[in-house]
Amino acid sequence: MNPAKLLVEVRDGVMALTLNRPEKRNAIDNDLARALLAAIALAERDDAVRVLLLRGAGPVFCAGRDLGAPPTQDDLRLVQAVAQALVSLPKPVVAAVQGWAVGAGLEWALDADVVIAAEGARFKLPEASLGVFVTGGLTATLPAAVGLARAKGLVLLGEPIGAAQAQAWGMVWQVVADDALDASARQVCARLAQLAPEVAGRFKKVLNELGLAHFQRAIEAENTAQRGLPC
């Protein structure tokens, strides 16, 4: 039997979702995206869950879309659906990033509310060089985090940046030692879980309504741009 591509654990008010394809550097295929959507929906319905933690198994957070998987009509829709679910979830989302966060993996990290990165984490958006367009609402979340000029440089040049630079630019809340990532992320989740759910939910809702006012428009524009590319 194949192991689950997504591990789900609920403890002390925190639902931890672990991308579990370490042999593929947690690259995203449609099964993984569907599993994430189902788990996020479960987290929204379950009053015992107050915080969502997104992380990756093994040395890499997520290498982006699995380019070895046969392309389907659902690829773009599912990646974007996960992004929308993370942003709209009325509960805080924490992303714990180790190793590489590439492409759609980085996009999902930026859809979280708080990003904790290991010192060795690296971030990269290679889409332009691959002839594809970004997804996951990145054209809204990235400029909101780093500013328009840096966002353009990151997506057009596709150069990787390290955790310290990502923190300095506003992509990351906290950088910790590689071996302290899980514990640090758990500590942040525990603090968030102590907030009154209605308070946390309202803060997230209003901050996103103002700070990510064009998120849905970005999703739609990215969809159009992706389908309009000749490749």
Closest CA to 98 of 119, 112, 114: 119
Q: What is the mean pLDDT of residues 207-219?
A: 97
Residue positions annotated with a catalytic role:
107, 127
pLDDT tens for 150-166 read: 999 999 999 999 999 99
Q: Find out whether 66 and 103 touch, Cβ atoms under 8 Å.
A: no
H or E element, residue 136: none
Alpha-carbon torsion, ordered 101, 73, 83, 35, to 10 deg: -80
- The single-letter DSSP state of residue 10 is E
Domains of the chain and CATH, by start:
6-181+193-228 (3.90.226.10)
pLDDT at residue 230 above 90?
no
Of 109, 120, 123, 110, give the one whose Cα is nearest residue 166.
Answer: 123
Q: How many CA atoms lie within 13 A of 42 on its CB side?
A: 13
Give the mean pLDDT of 206-216: 97
The residue-averaged pLDDT of 194-211 equals: 98
Percent of the chain's residues with pLDDT above 90: 93
Identity of residue 224: T
State pTM to two decimals. 0.96
pLDDT tier for residue 231 given thresholds of 50, 70 and 90: low
Q: Is the pLDDT of residue 1 over 50?
A: no
* Percent of the chain topping pLDDT 70: 98
Residue 72 has what pLDDT? 84
**Mean of pLDDT values over 166-179:** 98
In this predicted model, what pLDDT tens digit does every residue of 7-50 receive, in sequence order? 999 999 999 999 999 999 999 999 999 999 999 999 999 999 99
